[in-house]
Amino acid sequence: MTSAAQRALHAIDTHDESVRAWTHVDRDALQSAAAHPLHNGQPLNGVVTAVKDIIATADMPTEYGSAIYRGHRPVADAPVVLLLKQAGALIAGKTATAEFAFLGSGPTRNPHRLTHTPGGSSMGSAAAVAAGMADLALGTQTAGSIIRPASFCGVIGFKPTFGLVSTVGVKAVAPSCDTVGWFVRDPTLLTQVWAAVLGASAPPPSPKSIRFGVLRTRDWNFADDVSRTAVLDASQRLRQLGHNTRELQLENVVAETGRAQKVIMMYEALRSLLWEYTVHADLIGGASLAALDAATELTTADYQEALAAVETARCCINDLFEDADVIITPAAIGEAPLGHSSTGDPMFARAWTQLGVPTAAVPWTTGPHGLPVAVQLIARPNHDATLISAVQYLAEIGPNSSEQPASSAH
């Protein structure tokens, strides 16, 4: 029987020269695990795991996608990495990120079609899982950096409630919304990872008890037909199975929060990256440098106004979830765009990230160019177990999301 490590090594050797998902591969660890698989009863025993290269690893480089940190080696693992190791996960290497997980396109290509972006900033993690080079990959989200690449690459992306997963050892961009999450192909892995990282042991609720709702925010018409249709189709499928999915309304507050998130992210990013910006500006990529230049124009008053808008929206969250436990919205505008100069627009994830609610992307359909399109699921804060149950349910009733892409075939 082929081990997970053997399958991952084969996929890396076959695909990564073209996909470019990895910045560092621990081939010794993979080869050792392939030759001598361990069966120690740990929940993540042998699960091949990739770590986004803004998350500290003591035994591998952590370069933050930046020339400034070339060869940098932290002295300790980030807690989230250590917890996965303690649960038996095999840390296979580091995956490509946009510079500082902020802006820029990075080197990675979409494994479904190399001419298209995989999304960002967690592009390497999403692509590695999509191409079968890892079973699990850690990513981070400050605006839409888990949800969007998950949709573009056709994998499940999960962003927990803000603050539940430690960001110690993670390069800060905007501390008020930076969140560690993960990508998988197999939805059953979500519960094991959740238990390993949070110590949570209670089983997720039955999907039959979950109330679903559809939310058409003010940005709804910016989505392509395929993204809107995916949301409506998922809703119809649930109704066919006996769920009374409701149309929800909270348009203005969510839209305002999305705009506020841009101000908050830029204001905080300038301060998080102040040393890099003031001492090593010559080594920062053009997209990041231009954004940081623009952020110098933001005032404390601008920031406080944006924070106030978010607080107003947070006060309305309970109202939004009065008639639904899980909300369905578009995950992205549509399919992964052609080209690599942009990683796509995170408009459908921004507000939810800033509000700190748990969200997930579940592959649902393919677009007119044959590329994956997901729906986004959203739950109220600290109801992550409900969201996990909903993700697993939609993955079961919808199209098969565990099928690996024909990497490099197009």
Phi, psi of 372 (to 5 degrees): -65, 150
Catalytic residue among 66, 121, 235, 272: 121
Whether 403 maps to a domain, the answer reads no
Whether 281 maps to a domain, the answer reads no
- Per the annotation, the verdict on 145 as an active-site residue is yes
Check residue 315 and give its pLDDT. 84
35 in Cβ contact with 3 (< 8 Å):
no
Q: How many CB atoms lie within 10 A of CB 207?
A: 20
Catalytic residue among 52, 94, 159, 171: 52
Check residue 252 and give its pLDDT. 67
pLDDT digits (tens, 9 = 90+) for 190-228: 999 999 999 877 667 888 899 999 998 888 999 999 999
Q: Which residues of 313-345 are buried (b: 16+ CB within 10 A; e: fewer)?
A: bbeeeeebbeebbbbbbbbbbbbbbeebeebbb
Q: What is the pTM of this model?
A: 0.94
Whether 293 maps to a domain, the answer reads no
Residue-number span of the structural domain to which 173 is assigned: 4-247+321-397
Whether 374 maps to a domain, the answer reads yes
Rounded-to-integer distance, Cα 160 and Cα 387, Å = 9
Whether 273 maps to a domain, the answer reads no
Whether 221 maps to a domain, the answer reads yes
pLDDT digits (tens, 9 = 90+) for 123-157: 999 999 999 999 999 999 999 999 999 999 999 99
DSSP conformation letters of 352-372: HHHHT--EEEEEEEE-TTS-E
- Per the annotation, the verdict on 121 as an active-site residue is yes
Whether 20 maps to a domain, the answer reads yes
Catalytic residue among 66, 105, 145, 227: 145
- Given a cut of 60, whether residue 53 has pLDDT beyond it is yes
117 in Cβ contact with 344 (< 8 Å):
yes
Whether 387 maps to a domain, the answer reads yes
Regarding beta strands 136-141 and 179-184, do their DSSP bridges make them parallel or antiparallel, or are they unpaired? antiparallel
Split into its structural domains, the chain has a count of: 1
Which CATH number is 187's domain given?
3.90.1300.10
Phi, psi of 267 (to 5 degrees): -60, -45
